[in-house]
Structure 1
Amino acid sequence: MAVEEKSFIGPDVVADSHSDSEKGGDVVNSDALQLASLGHVEELERNFGLLALVGLGFVCSGSWFGVTLSLVAGVMSGGPAVLVYGALVIPAFSLLIVLSLAEMGSAYPTTAGPLEWTFRLAPRKWALFLSWMTGWANLISWLVGSAANVAVMANQMVFLANLYNPSFEAKTWQIWLIMEGCLILNGLLNAFGTRLLPKIDTVQFYWFIGSFLIVAITTVAAANPHQPAKFVFGTFYNATGWTNPFVVFMNGLIITAGNFVALDASCHLAEEMSSPSRTIPKAMLMTVGIGCITDFIVSICLMFSVGQDKDAFFESAAPYLTIVLSSTGSKAAAACISTTLLVNNFISTTSVIQVGSRIIWSFSRDGGFIFPTFFAKVNTSLACPLPAVVMSWAIGALVAILYLASSTAFNALLSCLVIMAYVAYAIPITCLLIRGRVYDRPGTFKLGKWGWAINIISLIFMAFLAIFFCFPVFRPVEKANMNYAAPTTVGFLAVTLILWFVAGKQNYKGSSLEGIHVHGL
């Protein structure tokens, strides 16, 4: 497709394109027209359907299987009561956040996501700067995420080995090798299997639901006796050293919040799906909606199935394995369930690298990333932005090296993941409120009169949680258990600010506000 000089393609073209596709017109052309009106040329293949996007959203956000993997921290910070009530509170507020994001994603459906929304909604004087800060915050949260995923995966494998060989103690270098090996496989799948990813994510949708049913039904059906409701809903357990119950409760709550952080996943594939203005809100809401239900049910099922030896549960390094073992009495059953979690985690890492690469690519085409011309390239034979994919993988691999050097440094880097994501969500929402919630080109999904309340509550909730993400989980505070989220976040934002004055101010141009005209459409 040849591109002319920039010329205006107004919102009316977008509206017409939607109606054309509904009447059986050329859906591909209508999507390309909409993208052109937002200042970009279509370069990626639109292969992702709704179920594939929801499958991707599931594994990126974690939801129910994230509960099983983070159970040890949740048990120590409040116990069963906090886990169960947290599975109601966090998803409910996460739904408000995703409603805010879905509305903006419907209005401006490009791969850039939050950085594009900020550029469009911010006051013109501040649009480039705020978009730059949003883009880097969003990018950091995703690039660090792949290393976090493989760290969890490697430790899962160690727990699985301990199931059959309790005396086995994994060395740090062994865990690191597992991490890097997983990242290599995930990177290769992203580089050479792009056309397979929609199929894998569609299968993952069914796998997610199926494995959820297996875990929930197996633990409850096999457990005998079950824990009483008083234990599930009324047991508050504190092994953190904090004496303030509210702080303990909040520390437990943020564990669940970590399972609902990658809420923008599907919007970064906007240029790889049909009718993105309609599909993005559906995918995001289905992801969080089903995630809320499965998260709560699994939390309830696991707590009712703890078994008679509650001390073993509270003291276990892998509580989900302890629950399955006490319920079924079978190592094979525990190994099978652990394997289902490993599959979820592996696909999750693949998706995180994919999303990270799309942010790098979209940021580069607007001049926001290093060597923008190179990282904005798309390999048409592989149907992916290959340089961006390699960079997304490479950064994850470099972060993983920190685990080998110092687990404290590694955890310090990961500690800012959620806060940086919240920064990327909060900036465009704030810009939308400042302009009176008026879009220059509204999408098909609108919050209407509820928009103000939803946006404001979302901001308050994220700000409130961000504070507690900076609290140390355990007391007394030592070097090994120190929470470095605050200094790490400030450090990243400071570097991003410096880079703005060094390079961003001169090179970052943002997308075209006037759109472009593409021959042949």
Structure 2
Amino acid sequence: MGHIELSGVVGDGHQTRDVLELARLGKVPVLKRNFGFMSMLAFSCTVMITWEAVLFLFVISFMNGGLAGSVYGFIFAWLGTLSVFATMGELASMLPTAGGQYHWISRLAPPSTRKFLSYLVGWLTVTGWQAVVASGGFICANLIQGMAVLGNPNYTPKPWETTLLLWAVIFLAVFINTIVSRALPKIESLIMILHIVGFFAILIPLVYMAPQGKASDVFTVFMNGGGWPTTGLSFFIGLLGPVFAFGGADGAVHMSEEIKNASVVVPRAMVFSIMLNGIMGFGMLLAVLFSIGNVDEVLKSDTGYPFLAIFQQGVSSTGGALAMAGIITTLAIVAIISWIASASRMLWSFARDRGIPGWRLVSSVNERNSIPVIAILVTTVIACLLSLINIGSSVAFNDVVALSVNGLYTSYLIGNGLLLWRRLAGHIHNSSEPEDSSLGIEKLSWGLWRLPEPIGTFNNAFGCAFLLIVLTFSCFPAENHPTSSTMNYVVVMEGGILICAVIYYLIWGRKTYKGPVIEVEL
């Protein structure tokens, strides 16, 4: 175990702070800090691709909620996500590490449970992000096939073709994350430009060319397409659509050790990206709902994506619809670049703390370009293997998609809940106050990003309530009285992962995982 003296830290103010903050967490800096605020804002926006996701996921809230339910469900999901990540920004400022949730919990949980609880959250976050990569590739492959059907109605997509397309998308993202990794901040900035320009390229034709519906319908007409006992229950089940659209907002957290001035930039990037993406997502949602046209024809589209039929109806041109769809598909494909970056850093960090099998190999960092190449390759292999499930059953693979949200949101809830307990108990000191050396491992102090009280406590509590609602209804199927093919098996999948994690912990993990490893001391 190394030792850092304050006098040995050189560089500008931000570099010094980054080194010291990481050292206080017991970590040695090994990754290059290539990201600044604008490049990380671009990274965060393109991780979520909210307005793009609104298009290919809006049918979820439309079927359970209708026109008005889609509008109010998006607003609720937007406010809830903003609340959750304002609180997570406080945590990221206190403890700016790539491990994120499991590292925070190792400091926030009571001593008697912190080791095991942080271990379980580490597994949930790792598997959640691995599922994000696989599900993102699946969506991209389906979008490509949907465009093929739109251009050639005689084409019938095959599951094995979906898997091969998924592999192609993943390999492209891996190439950028490894071979040209040094250019990643610039690439993310270019993608951000496309993200904004593409928004207007889709929005303007829909608004000016498509027949427009009535505002009274968009803001007052609810629908219970799932056949649930009440429209209110149907509305909450439909929340999964807009919640998916804001998924992956913690991607910036797992890039913390590659960001300059991380304790300030990470929370700002997360919050500003949710605000910006929320504005664009809400605008696109309204444009689609006003332009929906013939609902029955849209929902029965052979492409598998109703928004493609809305495009075709709206611009009265298959070629124009394909051009618009090409923008969406391109942005979804380049989002995989950010997802693999975040997923691999999370995997690398947990391996660094000896939480997974093969941790010695996975935690290695390439000396030439200072990136976790092995973690990137493992993430690639996992995504490719998960995609094979689709060949046997697309229903089973859909549960992998649901797992990506359920696993991550569970980790958010535990972290947010423990922070709420700590702040109500008065265990967190102001950063300007001298820390009591008698507190030992219990030492907690606020970072540079903090919501003023009582706003911070109220926001923290609201975020926990929102997460409980999301997790509860994420376990419901889309329709009442489901069959075996429409049942939601996410509880079974997440339970299975936790059982495997516990078995590994009891046999091997408890011997190697002691919580975040202390590599260096101040």
TM-score exceeds 0.5 = yes
The range that moved more, 71-80 or 43-52, is: 71-80
Matched, 1:109 2:96: yes
Is residue 424 of structure 2 the alignment partner of residue 438 of structure 1?
Answer: no
Is 1:289 the counterpart of 2:286? The answer is no
Residues 1:194 and 2:181 are matched in the alignment = yes
Aligned to 2:36: 49
User: Match for residue 406 of structure 1?
Assistant: 393
Which of 287, 302, 305 is residue 291 of structure 2 equivalent to?
305
Aligned equivalents of 2:384 and 2:90: distance in 1? 34
1:257-276 correspondence to structure 2 within 5 Å: 257-276=243-262
Deviation at 1:217, TM superposition (A): 1.6
* Corresponding residue SS for 1:448: coil
Give runs of aligned pairs for residues 80-479 of structure 1, distance below 5 A.
80-223=67-210, 225-307=211-293, 309-316=294-301, 317-435=304-422, 436=425, 438-439=427-428, 440-449=444-453, 450-479=455-484
State the distance in 2 between where 1:455 and 1:495 align.
31
Matched residues in 2 for 1:420 and 1:34: separation?
28
Q: Given the superposition, is the C-alpha separation of residues 72 and 433 from structure 1 closer, same or farther in structure 2, using an over 3 Å criterion?
A: closer
Aligned AA (2:208): A
Distance 1:392 1:514 in 2: 25
- The answer as to whether partners of 1:76 and 1:314 remain within 8 angstroms in 2 is no
Could you tell me how far apart the structure 2 residues matched to 1:204 and 1:438 are? Answer: 42
In structure 2, distance between residues paired with 1:168 and 1:79:
31
- 1:437 CA displacement: 5.5
Task: Confirm or deny: 8 A CA contact 2:65 2:224 kept in the other structure.
Answer: yes
- Per the TM alignment, residue 26 of structure 1 is displaced from its structure 2 partner at its CA by 5.3
Offset at residue 274 of structure 1 (A): 0.5
SS of match in other structure, 1:370: coil
Percent of pairs with identical residues: 28
1:65 offset after TM fit, Å? 0.8
The count of residues paired between Structure 1 and Structure 2 equals 502
Which letter does structure 1 place at the counterpart of 2:445? R
Question: How far is the alpha carbon of 1:188 from its aligned partner?
Answer: 2.3
Given that 2:86 and 2:271 are in contact with CA atoms closer than 8 Å, whether structure 1 keeps it comes out as yes
- The answer to whether the 8 A contact 1:364-1:373 is kept is yes
How high is the TM-score relative to the length of structure 1?
0.92
How far did residue 241 of structure 1 move? 3.0
Q: 1:25-75 deviations in whole A, cap 9, x for unaligned?
A: 354343223212211111111111222222222232231111101123333
More displaced stretch, 293-302 vs 448-457? 448-457
What amino acid is the match of 2:159?
T
CA contact (8 A) 2:59 2:241 kept: no
Unaligned runs of 5+ residues in structure 1 are none
Q: Deviations over 1:349-393 (max 9, x none)?
A: 121111111011111111112222211111021331111110111
Q: Compared with structure 1, are the counterparts of its residues 513 and 460 closer, same or farther at alpha carbon in structure 2 (3 Å cutoff)?
A: farther
**Does structure 2 retain, via aligned residues, the 8 Å contact 1:111–1:267?**
yes
Report deviation, 1:320: 1.3
After TM superposition, the structure 1 stretch with the greater mean CA deviation from structure 2, 236-245 or 328-337, is 236-245
Please state how far the C-alpha of 1:186 moved relative to its aligned partner. 1.8
Contact 2:128 2:408 survives alignment (8 Å): yes
- Secondary structure of 1:477's counterpart equals coil
8 Å Cα contact 1:141/1:420 also seen in 2: yes
User: Which stretch of the first structure deviates more once superposed, 70-79 or 454-463?
Assistant: 70-79
Output the CA distance in 2 between the equivalents of 1:372 and 1:492: 18
For residues 397 and 190 of structure 1, the distance between their equivalents in structure 2, rounded to whole angstroms, comes to 16
Identify if the C-alpha distance between structure 1 residues 433 and 236 changes in structure 2 by more than 3 Å, giving closer, same or farther. Answer: closer
Partner Cα separation in structure 2 for residue 327 and residue 340 of structure 1: 16
2:492 corresponds, among 483, 487, 493, to 487
Query: Do 2:66 and 2:224's aligned partners in 1 also have CA atoms closer than 8 Å?
Result: yes
Residue in 2 that maps onto 1:510:
515
* SS of structure 1 residue aligned to 2:521: coil
Query: Distance in 1 between the 2:17 and 2:403 partners?
Result: 39
Aligned letter for 1:438?
H
The answer to whether the 8 Å contact 1:103/1:446 transfers is: yes
Bigger shift: residues 143-152 or 320-329: 320-329
- Structure 1 residue 243: deviation in Å? 3.9
Cα separation, 2, equivalents of 1:55 and 1:163: 31
Deviation (angstroms), 1:426: 1.6
**Alpha-carbon distance between aligned partners in 2 of 1:199 and 1:108, rounded to the nearest angstrom:** 27
Q: Whole-Å Cα distance in 2 between the matches of residues 171 and 314 of structure 1?
A: 21
State whether residues 51 and 205 of structure 1, in contact with CA within 8 Å, keep that contact through their aligned partners in structure 2.
no
Q: Over aligned residue pairs, what C-alpha RMSD do you find?
A: 2.1
CA distance in 1, matches of 2:491, 2:353: 30
- Is the CA contact (8 Å cut-off) linking 1:37 and 1:514 kept in structure 2? no
